[in-house]
Amino acid sequence: MARDMDGEKTQSQSLKAQLALRELILAGALAPGERIAELAMVDRLGLSRTPLRAALIRLEQEGLLEEIPSGGYAVRAFSEADIFDSIEIRGTLEGLAARFAAERGVSTSRLAELKDCVAAIEEIVEAPAMSAEDFARYVPMNERFHALLVDLADSAPLRREIERATSLPFASPSGFVEAQSLLPESRRILLIAQEHHRLVVDAIQNREGARAEAIMREHARLAHRNLQLALRSAAASKVPGAALIRKRA
C-alpha cells in the first residue's frame, strides 16, 4: 500500500512539473534553443529531480523540447512550415475519424450529441457581433465538437495518434481562436468553420465516408489561414507559444 501511495505521489509530482514547465515554455519565459538546467529548474519549481526528469521526457515526446547531443534538453523552436505540417497531420487524422464514423455508422443518440454541439456553436457564431465572452464560449464548444467526432470513430489507435498530433498548442482545433478574435476577418472565418461542422454531420449521417473525410481536411486548412493572418498582425501575441515560432523574414 505504501509503495502504491509513493508511486501515485511521484506521478502527481511529475504531472505538476510537466504542467509548470509547459507553461513557462509557452509563455516565452524559456527562450527557443535554451537548455533546461535541471538544478536551476528544480529550485524554480520546488520539485525534486525525479519528477522533473519525467516531465522533460514527456515534453520532448510532445514536441516542445528536443534532446541535445551533449545531454539534456533544450526548448524547441518552430518554423511556420513545422506548424503548417502539424495542422495538416491533425486534419488528415480527423478526416480519417470522420470517414470511420460515416462508414461504420453511428447510433442516432450519439449523432444527436454532435448535432446538439453544432446547434450550440451556431447560436454563438450567428450573433450580430461576437464579444470576447462569445469567443470564450466558442472555444470549449469547438473542442467538444472535435472530441465527439473522434469518439464516433470508435478507434483507440486513431485516438492516440490524434492526441499526439494535437499536443502542440498550435495544432489543436482551438489553437488560434483567441488570436482570431482580434482579426477583422474573424466572424467570416468562423461562419465557414461552422458550415464545415454542419456538412460533416450531414456526411456522417448519410454514410458518405469520402465526403466526411474531405470536409475535415478542408476544415483544418482554415487554421493555416488563421495562422498566416495572426502572425502578420497584432494578434500574434495571442497565439499560444508564439515566442517559439520563427517568423519568416
pLDDT in tens, 133-173: 888 888 899 999 999 999 999 999 999 999 988 887 778 88
Across the range 55-63, mean pLDDT stands at: 90
More confident call, 198 vs 241: 198
Across the range 76-97, mean pLDDT stands at: 91
- 230 and 176 Cβ atoms separated by less than 8 Å: yes
Q: Please, is 21 exposed, middle or buried when counting C-beta atoms within 10 Å of its C-beta (0-12, 13-18, 19+)?
A: buried
pLDDT tens sequence across 177-232: 666 666 667 778 889 999 999 999 999 999 999 999 999 999 998 888 877 777 77
pLDDT at 80 over 90: no
> Cα–Cα distances in Å, from 112 out to 38, 107, 116, 152?
49, 9, 6, 11
> Cα–Cα distances in Å, from 70 out to 50, 66, 73, 101?
20, 12, 9, 46
Which cell goes with 48? Answer: 525534486
Q: Which of 99, 37, 106, 27 is nearest to 68 (CA)?
A: 37
Dist CA 199 CA 98 (whole Å): 11
Dist CA 194 CA 200 (whole Å): 10
Q: Which of 26-40, 54-68, 208-222 has the highest mean pLDDT?
A: 208-222
- 210 and 99 Cβ atoms separated by less than 8 Å: yes
Which cell goes with 236? Answer: 500574434
Place of cell 495538416: 88
More confident call, 8 vs 218: 218
pLDDT at 9 over 80: no
Across the range 15-32, mean pLDDT stands at: 88
Supply the angle between the helices 156-165 and 132-153 in degrees, to the nearest 10: 150
Q: Which of 1-15, 148-162, 229-243 has the highest mean pLDDT?
A: 148-162
How is domain 2-76 classified at the architecture level of CATH?
A: Orthogonal Bundle (1.10)
Q: Where are the domains of the chain?
A: 2-76, 80-246
pLDDT at 2 over 50: no
pTM of the shown model: 0.80
Q: Mean pLDDT for the chain?
A: 86
More confident call, 227 vs 124: 124
Residue range 80-246 forms a domain whose CATH class is mainly alpha
> Which residues is 75 bridged to in the sheet?
65
CA atoms within 13 A on the CB side of 34: 14
> Cα–Cα distances in Å, from 38 out to 50, 139, 173, 213?
10, 35, 33, 44
Say what the pLDDT of residue 188 is: 83
Say what the pLDDT of residue 130 is: 78
Residue 38 burial (CB count, 10 A): 14
pLDDT at 5 over 50: no
Q: Which of 144, 117, 134 is nearest to 178 (CA)?
A: 134
